[in-house]
Chains A and B, each alone.
Chain A
Amino acid sequence: MIRTVFAVAAIALGVTAAIAQQDPIAARKALMKTNGDQGKIGAAMIKGEAPFDLDKAHKVFATFEDASAKASALFPENSIDQATADDPYSASPEIWQNLEDFKARLAKLGADAKAADASVKDLDSFKAAFGNIGKNDCGGCHEKYRLKKS
């Protein structure tokens, strides 16, 4: 029984890895899109357009943490992408010229999100943590490594 479980898990992991290998660009865009969707939810609570919900707050940070862990493997060499008709954003070639800095920023996002997830308890603490992550982790990385075509 346990061997079957292990086997299935190994295959699932392998399949995920294989898919990621096949299309890291699509995979990482999907991750960032999920971040953005959670960002929207967070923004609505901060702006007072939606009531504060602690579970949702936790989910925002957990998503960021998960995304940062997965994203690191999704930027292999030769995976430079371009803006498309649907998506004006693309990864800048600067990433591969500064791979250490890029990965360090992903790690920082993960660490900050983890700390925020552990400490958030109300709207004020959520605002502070979300704002810090958004401006420094999201914004700082986007400034240097994300290109926008119009």
Chain B
Amino acid sequence: MQRPALIVAAVALVCALLWVLTIPATVPASALPPHTPDIDNGRTMFNIGGCASCHATPNKDAEKVERTRLGGGLPLKSPFGTFYVPNISPDAADGIGGWSEADFVTALWKGTSPRGRHLFPAFPYTSYQHMKLADVRDLFAYLKTLPPVSGRARRHDLVFPFSVRRLVGIWKVLFLRGGPFRSDPSRSAQWNSGAYLVSGPGHCAECHSPRNFLGAIVADERFAGGPAPDGKGWVPNITPVGLQHWSKEDIAWSEKDIASFLDDGMNPAGDFAGGAMVETIRNTAKLDAADRAAIAAYIVSLPPREGPKPPPKK
């Protein structure tokens, strides 16, 4: 063969391989056994999953947001451009009213849309992939009970090449690992419950970890804090490195401190949380006390990790 033809063939082969590598994965309906939805559990998943914090129609005054009206539209700024959160109300035309159960499971577990396209990982399916099948299905059932809201969010405003959905397939090969949560039999039931809530629906690491230049969490600094994903401020280290030597008063957070913080926003210094955590606590305050206690039990057991240093104060 001539040189140029060889090169063209090689390029074509690489493209074909990439194409195959990036085929969006789906979960077929046949993979879902019969299941009776538990709406109460769905509501719990909605609260711990924090769906309203991104998907509810925004309001300038955070306290006026109606958590059950999931019309989308919130802008999420990132280093890759601005994402506009979609409508996930049960509206048939503009929301997820036309979605099947398998579509919803596919979105949360595989990050793939019902039309078979990659969803951007601004939607934290890197965490939701660990959710139990029954929990995902209960959440779907709960969402369907909420009011339909009409109106689609605008399209994302992303910088090329991050705007090319197909390339997210490569990102997934690199960074979407793990699958459903596996409990640790050497640990207590409470610890396992907390580990599940934090790693799966709670998706705490998505804010509390630093990210690399491709926007993926740096695995060995998970939970060690970093710049807030939306660029506003710093999210603290919640491994013992951060929690045992917190603030200039060098306070140590106890398990009880964490659990009550997730209820009322009060930290061990008697001060009340500000910033994005207030929104998170709006969700965690709605959980059972046992769930908050389980989350706290897991958080205090995290391996101590040094994270990036926050920028120096002036």
Partners in one complex: yes
Interface membership of B133, Cβ < 8 A = no
Contact between chains at B313 and A39 (CB < 8 Å): no
| Total chain B interface residues with beta-carbon distance under 8 A | 27
Contact between chains at A131 and B314 (CB < 8 Å): no
Of A18-26, A67-75, A116-124, A137-145, the segment with at least 4 beta carbons within 8 Å of chain B is A137-145
Interchain CA distance A144-B272 in the complex, whole Å: 12
Interface membership of B63, Cβ < 8 A = yes
Interchain CA distance A121-B234 in the complex, whole Å: 40
Of B79-87, B165-173, B273-281, the segment with at least 4 beta carbons within 8 Å of chain A is B273-281
Interchain CA distance A138-B274 in the complex, whole Å: 9
Interchain CA distance A82-B313 in the complex, whole Å: 10
Contact between chains at A131 and B270 (CB < 8 Å): no
CB of B309 to closest CB in A, whole Å = 9
> Of residues 72 to 107 in A, which have CB atoms within 8 Å of B's CB atoms?
82-86, 88, 101
Of A7-15, A40-48, A51-59, the segment with at least 4 beta carbons within 8 Å of chain B is A40-48
Closest residue of chain A to B285, judged by CB? A135
* A150 / chain B contacts, CB cutoff of 8 Å: 233-234, 310-311, 313
Contact between chains at A135 and B265 (CB < 8 Å): yes
Interchain CA distance A101-B193 in the complex, whole Å: 41
Indicate with 1 or 0, residue by residue over B28-69, a CB within 8 angstroms of chain A CB atoms. Answer: 000000000000000000000000000000000111000000
Interchain CA distance A42-B270 in the complex, whole Å: 7
Closest residue of chain A to B62, judged by CB? A143
Using known A-B contacts A131-B264, A134-B264, A142-B278, determine if residue A41 contacts B270 with beta carbons closer than 8 Å: yes
Contact between chains at B234 and A149 (CB < 8 Å): yes
Contact between chains at B264 and A39 (CB < 8 Å): no
Contact between chains at B272 and A134 (CB < 8 Å): yes
Contact between chains at A144 and B266 (CB < 8 Å): no
Residues of B within 8 A of A (CB): 61-63, 233-234, 248, 256, 260, 264-266, 268-275, 278-279, 281, 285, 310-311, 313-314
Q: Which 4 A-B pairs have the closest CB atoms?
A: A150-B310, A39-B270, A40-B270, A142-B274
Q: List 29 A-B contacts (CB under 8 A).
A: A38-B270, A39-B270, A39-B272, A40-B269, A40-B270, A43-B268, A47-B256, A82-B314, A83-B313, A84-B313, A84-B314, A85-B313, A86-B248, A101-B61, A134-B265, A135-B264, A135-B266, A135-B272, A139-B272, A139-B278, A140-B278, A142-B274, A144-B61, A144-B62, A148-B234, A148-B274, A149-B234, A150-B234, A150-B310
